[in-house]
Amino acid sequence: MSAVSSTIPPKKRATVAELVARLETENEHLEIIDGEIVEKAGAGDMNEASGPSHGRAMIKIGEVVGPFDRKPGSSRGPGGWWLFTDLHVGYPSGDVYAHDLSGFRRDSHPERPASFPVMARPDWACEIISNKKRDLVIKPTTLHAAEVPHYWVLDANEKLLIVHRWSAEGYVVVLRAADGDTVRAEPFDAIEIHVSELFGDD
């Protein structure tokens, strides 16, 4: 009598096609995280981690790094980047993240990324913490495997900025800053950033 196999079949991972189908009928705030389609927490959520402070931070970060979002050599800023909010980026793992903010250097991406999802590796990704497991564990693991050079994490409630730089061994924290600090944060260290402005404090 043969033994009955107790092997559990691997979990079926969601596909980009399935994500697209759901986005067409539901809403734009969906991602594939760890192989599952999940709703992205964010500005519309009324909880401590991701309420209005999340949305406010997202707008203000865009304003602060905005001078980079143009051709290099502009009189209005350093330029040299394509910057996006909520852009769906696909990774070799099969996951698709709608990063709060992401950026691509124009010297390596002369044309603005426009596919869905964008399959090019970003040069910078930023998440405002809304789910600690996703933003501090799952996503940076995927980004490190894809060799994304810089990953920012912001805590809108505690008003903290943490900047990670890629290394072969793992992400290295190169900057920790808090409300009231003035810093130069990679990869946007061509300008000074007042950390309080990232969170909407004028």
Q: Which single residue is written with the structure tokens 């964008």?
A: 118
- Asked if the structure places residue 7 within a domain, the reply is no
Confirm if 198 and 153 have CB atoms less than 8 A apart.
Answer: no
Q: Determine the structural domain holding residue 136 and report its residue range.
A: 42-198
Sort strands 193-194 and 36-39 into parallel, antiparallel or unpaired.
Answer: unpaired
CATH number for the domain spanning 184: value is 3.90.1570.10
Contact criterion met (CB below 8 Å) for 96 and 117: yes
Would you say residue 28 lies in a domain? no
How many structural domains does the chain have? Answer: 1
Q: Is 88 part of a structural domain of the chain? A: yes
Q: Is residue 9 part of a domain?
A: no
d(CA 163, CA 62): 16
C-alpha dist (Å) from residue 2 to 5, 7, 8: 9, 14, 18
Instruction: Tell me how far apart the alpha carbons of residues 57 and 154 are, in angstroms, rounded to a whole number.
Output: 9
Task: Identify the burial level of 95 via C-beta atoms within 10 angstroms of its C-beta, where 0-12 means exposed, 13-18 middle and 19 or more buried.
Answer: buried
Domain-located, residue 34: no
Instruction: Tell me the pLDDT tens digit for each residue of 118-176.
Output: 999 999 999 999 999 999 999 999 999 999 999 999 999 999 999 999 999 999 999 99
Q: Give the model's pLDDT for residue 8.
A: 63
Distance CA 25, CA 32 (A): 16
87 is a domain residue: yes
Q: Please name the helix (run of DSSP H) or strand (run of DSSP E) that holds residue 85, with its range, or none.
A: strand 81-90
Beta strands 160-165; 150-155: pairing state: antiparallel
Give the predicted TM-score (pTM) of the model.
Answer: 0.88
How confident is the model at residue 9, as a pLDDT? Answer: 62
pLDDT at position 55, please? 82
The DSSP annotation for 15-76 comes to -HHHHHHHHHHS-S-EEEETTEEEEPP-TT--STTSSHHHHHHHHHHHHHHGGGSS-TT-TT
173, part of any domain:
yes
Q: Does 58 fall in a domain? A: yes
Bridge-based pairing state of the strands 124-128 and 150-155: parallel
Which regions in the chain score pLDDT beneath 70? 1-10, 27-28, 42-51, 202
